């Protein structure tokens, strides 16, 4: 099967966060299953210079007319992974810039135009190549599907199946209504059952309303999107298309994140030999100049400093966690206010709290490997990568019960609380701890559950279980392959 991805990020060519890992991981996994995958992605300056595709070849000229704007460029193509070709849309006027989406904390003012161009070029390429399926990732790519099903819905194009992936519904690509004029789509598509949302052009709806399937990045998130709390104004669209909406969790690259072969670690380890994990813990405490937690745990957190990720909750939980005997190793960049709060906590507890307001990949891996607990108090989490990486390194995730965190962390005690049943042995099959509602107090209580587990001598048992989990892309790729075959069969029957 020939599958065309359209996306704004693709690791290691270009990424600003987890989206690039997800598109890359899925493309690579589908390629490993024998599918032919083409990924259409902007030819950002950084992507063209990355060297990730060492032998880029000319993939053909591109001429785009978007309302009053005209652009010329080319596709530059190269093999990224076995079975995966990257097609970089090299339009210097739009993508030859220092950033992907903006600079100095501000979005580029023409981002709407830039990603309409990506969608139009991808739709033309699909019309020329006739892939079996086009998969659009998030709002940046969604209009591709509207174009294929409306203005380009003719001849062989009608047999192309379409899938919209929702990685994060909080970002919907909303722009002034006047932007309709540059899309090349009929003005009468600007209505509530089309591309309009609360008076604006909503690019994400181009995928939601015209895709053969909508895939949220976890089953729980697929249900949450249909509610007022998580739909962000599009819950009606998700409910209207619920019969086409499914959830498939992401995986991680288990060759990149591998405690048995990670060069960033002072010692390697596995489920059969935990001695290296203990050495990683000792080395981490030494490197960060932290005291051994008196009776407590070494807790870590890694990621973007943002309220969505619950870092404000972590900041408010630091003092009680230290009082309960924990030490904390915190790593992330983002909100200056949250960074200031965590810096103050480090100054208050210099031998018990470490905080670095930056991202350091090697140090992040050392935190994943050396910590006892990984804190994941996200307010919402479509799928999440932190908990999967923590599990891969045998570190217990303690997470707010939301989105993909619920689908990827098995906590029999939390399940017992929800169903009213008695849990005979809540740790017998547990792969982490879930808590709800979200509060610093509940986060501290959840960490205390792990503390009691450690006091009872059972932490190694859970660590071994985590190290035996399969959090790779293998399982998700099989689910994706089955869905793509369904979509392909339906598309071929389209009149």
Please provide the DSSP assignment of 33-102 as one string. TT-EEEEEEE--HHHHHS-SSSS-EEEEEEEEEETTEEEEEEEEEEEEETTEEEEEEE-HHHH-SSSSSE
Burial class of 93 by CB neighbour count within 10 A (0 to 12, 13 to 18, 19+): middle
Assigned CATH for 275-467: 3.40.50.2000
pLDDT in tens, 477-493: 999 999 999 999 999 99
Q: What are the distances in angstroms from CA 72 to CA 66, 92, 100, 119, 304?
A: 11, 8, 19, 15, 36
Place of tokens 């990045």: 217
Q: What are the boundaries of each domain within the chain? A: 2-251+474-492, 275-467
pLDDT greater than 60 at residue 419: no
pLDDT digits (tens, 9 = 90+) for 424-446: 577 778 999 999 999 999 999 99
User: For the ranges 104-108, 130-134, 158-162, 219-223, which has the lowest average pLDDT?
Assistant: 104-108
Residue 118 · residue 89 · CB < 8 Å = yes
Q: Is a pLDDT exceeding 90 seen at residue 105?
A: no
pLDDT tens, residue by residue, 290-319: 998 888 899 999 999 999 999 999 999 999
Backbone angles phi, psi at 383, to 5 degrees: -135, -65
Instruction: State how far the Cα of 225 lies from the Cα of 310, in Å rounded to an integer.
Output: 20
CATH architecture entry for 2-251+474-492: 3-Layer(aba) Sandwich (3.40)
2-251+474-492 and 275-467, same CATH topology: yes
For range 346-366, the mean pLDDT:
96
Name the average pLDDT for the chain: 95
């Amino acid at each position: 099967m020939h599958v065309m991805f359209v996306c704004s990020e693709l690791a290691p060519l270009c990424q600003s966060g987890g989206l690039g890992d997800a598109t890359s991981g899925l493309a690579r996994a589908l390629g490993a299953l024998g599918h032919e995958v083409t990924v259409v992605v902007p030819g950002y300056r950084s992507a063209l210079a990355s060297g990730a595709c060492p032998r880029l070849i000319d993939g053909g000229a591109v001429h785009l007319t978007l309302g009053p704007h005209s652009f010329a460029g080319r596709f530059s193509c190269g093999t990224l992974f076995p079975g995966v070709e990257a097609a970089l849309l090299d339009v210097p006027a739009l993508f030859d810039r220092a950033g992907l989406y903006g600079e100095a904390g501000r979005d580029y003012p023409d981002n709407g135009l830039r990603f309409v161009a990506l969608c139009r070029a991808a739709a033309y390429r699909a019309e020329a190549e006739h892939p079996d399926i086009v998969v659009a990732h998030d709002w940046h790519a969604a209009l591709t599907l509207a174009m294929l099903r409306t203005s380009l819905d003719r001849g062989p194009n009608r047999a192309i199946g379409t899938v919209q992936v929702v990685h994060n519904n909080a970002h919907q690509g909303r722009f002034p209504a006047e932007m309709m004029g540059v899309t090349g789509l009929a003005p009468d598509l600007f209505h509530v059952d089309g591309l309009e949302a609360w008076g604006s052009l909503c690019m994400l709806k181009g995928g939601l309303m015209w895709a053969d399937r909508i895939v949220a990045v976890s089953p729980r998130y697929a249900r949450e999107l249909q509610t007022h709390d998580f739909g962000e104004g599009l819950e009606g669209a998700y409910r209207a298309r619920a019969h086409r909406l499914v959830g498939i969790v992401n995986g991680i690259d288990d060759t990149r994140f591998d405690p048995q072969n990670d060069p960033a670690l002072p010692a390697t380890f596995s489920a059969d030999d935990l001695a290296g994990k203990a050495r990683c813990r000792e080395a981490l405490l030494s490197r960060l100049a932290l005291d051994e937690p008196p009776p407590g745990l070494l807790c870590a957190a890694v990621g973007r400093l943002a309220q969505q990720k619950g870092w404000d909750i972590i900041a408010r939980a630091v003092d009680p966690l230290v009082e309960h005997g924990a030490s904390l190793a915190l790593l992330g960049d983002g909100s200056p206010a949250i960074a200031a709060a965590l810096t103050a906590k480090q100054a208050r507890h210099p031998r018990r709290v470490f905080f670095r307001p930056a991202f350091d990949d090697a140090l992040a891996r050392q935190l994943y490997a050396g910590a006892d607990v990984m804190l994941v108090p996200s307010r919402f989490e479509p799928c999440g990568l932190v908990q999967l990486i923590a599990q891969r390194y045998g570190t217990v995730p303690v997470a707010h019960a939301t989105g993909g965190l619920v689908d990827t962390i098995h906590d029999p005690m939390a399940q017992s609380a929800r169903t009213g049943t008695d849990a005979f042995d809540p740790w017998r099959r547990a792969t982490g701890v879930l808590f709800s509602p979200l509060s610093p107090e509940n986060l501290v209580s959840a960490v205390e559950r792990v503390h009691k587990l450690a006091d009872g001598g059972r932490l190694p048992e859970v660590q071994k279980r985590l190290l035996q989990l399969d959090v790779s892309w293998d399982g998700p790729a099989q689910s994706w392959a089955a869905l793509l075959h369904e979509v392909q069969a339906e598309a071929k029957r389209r009149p």
